[in-house]
Amino acid sequence: MERNNNPLEIKTYLSENFGVSPRVIDFVSEVEAGIDDQLQARDEMAALHQYRVIRAMQNVHLSDRHFHPSTGYGYDDEGREATEKIFAEVFGAEAALVRPHISSGTHAIALCLYGVLRPGDELLSISGDPYDTICTFIGAHGEESGAGTLADFGVRYHQIELANGGTFDTAAIMAAITDRTKMVYIQRSTGYSWRKAITLDAIAAICQKIKAQWPEVIIFVDNCYGEFLDAQEPAAVGADLMAGSLIKNPGGGLAPTGGYVAGRADLVALCANRLAAPGIGGETGATLGIARTFLQGFFQAPMVVSQAMKTAILVGAVYRALGFDVCPAVDDYRSDIIQSVKLGNPEAVKTFCRAVQEAAPVDAFVTPEPWDMPGYDVPVIMAAGAFIQGSSIELSADAPMRKPYIVYFQGGLTHDHGKLGLLLSLQRLIDSGFITLGSGHDQWTIGTD
């Protein structure tokens, strides 16, 4: 006999198999019901991008022949060429470089900076400190001389901090740009900071402002964690160049490796020269049949990003309802997939991350511990039971072990999986005594350091 799923069956299963109490499930469900409009908006954004991706694939006449592998030099790799045309169209760029040979987001960004900047040029970050790994290859803070940093090659670096509220300090930016400024650098996502991601509207406005006075300055955007969050991408609203990782948003959870660069055709060509060599550029690079996986991942990326966003919104809403500080706030406009929660206690951070690991389909039996991660000045704890190593579009959580003990939650290929991570995090914090459950929802109390 056919019948619909009974919510009681789900509740019983979660209780019996994952140890989540019915009370916790009910609480999360009540919070989720109150943010239905925000979740629906993510579905609408996903639909827009889904249609855009489909149209771009149709425009290149995507066919089974594009999925055939190339070997050796990879000359005339039709799959590679089609993939790059599709990415460029969807991202509103003149050209794109999409390769499995780009090993990470940091690598993609390095291609852009090393490919474009020359000795004597100045790089100006207008969003404060970039990620630690980016600072290292820039040589931003006196990193080891002789290691091949941009500083070793005579590229000067300056930065402007964001103003209060995480907005661009426009006056300081315009005063800092000089004839030596070759590139302005923007990091869209938050990194390990307590701020909202930079919105596309803000990026568009600062691009317009800079270009009006300094039209030759190249504006670069680190677009990691931001793809498919808004109706357009930075390359479509004034940025000259942007880069990201395929094991984040645009890979849709399927791309096993890779990264992309997109923007002005002349600048993308310089990045291709850096990846290969001048005179070769983007004309070689066997893809070994990975085009199908890249494109299938890109095809489903709008839906996957929407699922991750729904989970991030719900995590923020649940922990805010319990009295925790969260960033972004529940009603804030979002420009990346990351949700930060200020737990205020190192053991609570460990408990949270271990609960997210416990929810994983892979390595659920592993217990995350803080460790001395290269490039960071404090131990970092990471939960990431992913099919793709290091994938942050899959459910994950991480935190530097320093006050005020903020945990950064992101990803989830499906909302149900992301919700399981949320439910377990809440249940384990209760089990460990960091949150005490009273007789009513207004009697939740928080244990802090």
Higher pLDDT, 422 or 133: 422
Give the model's confidence band at 346: pLDDT under 50 very low, under 70 low, under 90 confident, else very high.
very high
Give the model's confidence band at 445: pLDDT under 50 very low, under 70 low, under 90 confident, else very high.
low
Pick from 54-58, 245-249, 316-320, 443-447: least confident: 443-447
Quick check: 421 pLDDT over 80?
A: yes
Quote the domain boundaries for residue 101. 65-298
Pick from 47-51, 227-231, 359-363, 375-379: least confident: 375-379
Domain count of the chain?
Answer: 2
Phi, psi (degrees; rounded to nearest 5) at 418 = -60, -40
Of 278, 298, 318, the position where a domain reaches its end is 298
Q: Is residue 54 part of a domain?
A: no
Of 298, 319, 342, the position where a domain reaches its end is 298
CB atoms within 10 A of CB 285: 21
Q: Sheet of 156-159: strands edge to edge?
A: 95-99, 259-263, 241-245, 218-222, 181-187, 122-125, 156-159
Judgement on whether residues 266 and 312 belong to the same structural domain of the protein: no
Please give the pLDDT value at position 191.
86
Q: Is residue 390 part of a domain?
A: yes
Q: What is the mean pLDDT of residues 48-76?
A: 98
Q: Is residue 116 part of a domain?
A: yes
C-beta separation of 336 from 226 below 8 A: yes
Judgement on whether residues 234 and 272 belong to the same structural domain of the protein: yes
For 385-403, the pLDDT digits (tens) are 999 999 999 999 999 999 9
Judgement on whether residues 239 and 343 belong to the same structural domain of the protein: no
Q: Is residue 398 part of a domain?
A: yes
Q: What is the mean pLDDT of residues 361-371?
A: 97
For 234-280, the pLDDT digits (tens) are 999 999 999 999 999 999 999 999 999 999 999 999 999 999 999 99
Give the model's confidence band at 146: pLDDT under 50 very low, under 70 low, under 90 confident, else very high.
confident
C-beta separation of 449 from 344 below 8 A: yes
Q: Is residue 57 part of a domain?
A: no
Please give the pLDDT value at position 437.
67
Of 272, 298, 324, the position where a domain reaches its end is 298
Q: What is the mean pLDDT of residues 157-167?
A: 93
Q: Is residue 60 part of a domain?
A: no
Q: Is residue 58 part of a domain?
A: no
* Cross-strand bridge partners of residue 340: 327, 408
Judgement on whether residues 346 and 274 belong to the same structural domain of the protein: no
Judgement on whether residues 390 and 434 belong to the same structural domain of the protein: yes
Please give the pLDDT value at position 374.
74
DSSP reduced 3-state for 327:
strand
Contacts of 100 (CB under 8 A, 6+ apart): 256, 257, 258, 287, 288, 290, 294
Residue 169 sits in a domain whose CATH number is 3.40.640.10
Quick check: 441 pLDDT over 50?
A: no
Q: Is residue 115 part of a domain?
A: yes
For 85-143, the pLDDT digits (tens) are 999 999 999 999 999 999 999 999 999 999 999 999 999 999 999 998 899 999 988 76
Judgement on whether residues 390 and 263 belong to the same structural domain of the protein: no
Residue 421 sits in a domain whose CATH number is 3.90.1150.60
Judgement on whether residues 200 and 147 belong to the same structural domain of the protein: yes
Contacts of 35 (CB under 8 A, 6+ apart): 313, 314, 317, 330
Judgement on whether residues 283 and 421 belong to the same structural domain of the protein: no
Give the model's confidence band at 5: pLDDT under 50 very low, under 70 low, under 90 confident, else very high.
low
Judgement on whether residues 183 and 71 belong to the same structural domain of the protein: yes
Please give the pLDDT value at position 443.
42
Burial of residue 33 (CB within 10 Å: 0-12, 13-18, 19+) is exposed
Distance CA 361, CA 409 (A): 17
Judgement on whether residues 154 and 286 belong to the same structural domain of the protein: yes
Q: What is the mean pLDDT of residues 309-338?
A: 96
Judgement on whether residues 26 and 164 belong to the same structural domain of the protein: no
Q: What percent of the chain has pLDDT over 90?
A: 90
Quick check: 449 pLDDT over 60?
A: no
Judgement on whether residues 387 and 260 belong to the same structural domain of the protein: no
Please give the pLDDT value at position 436.
80
Closest CA to 421 of 296, 336, 308: 308
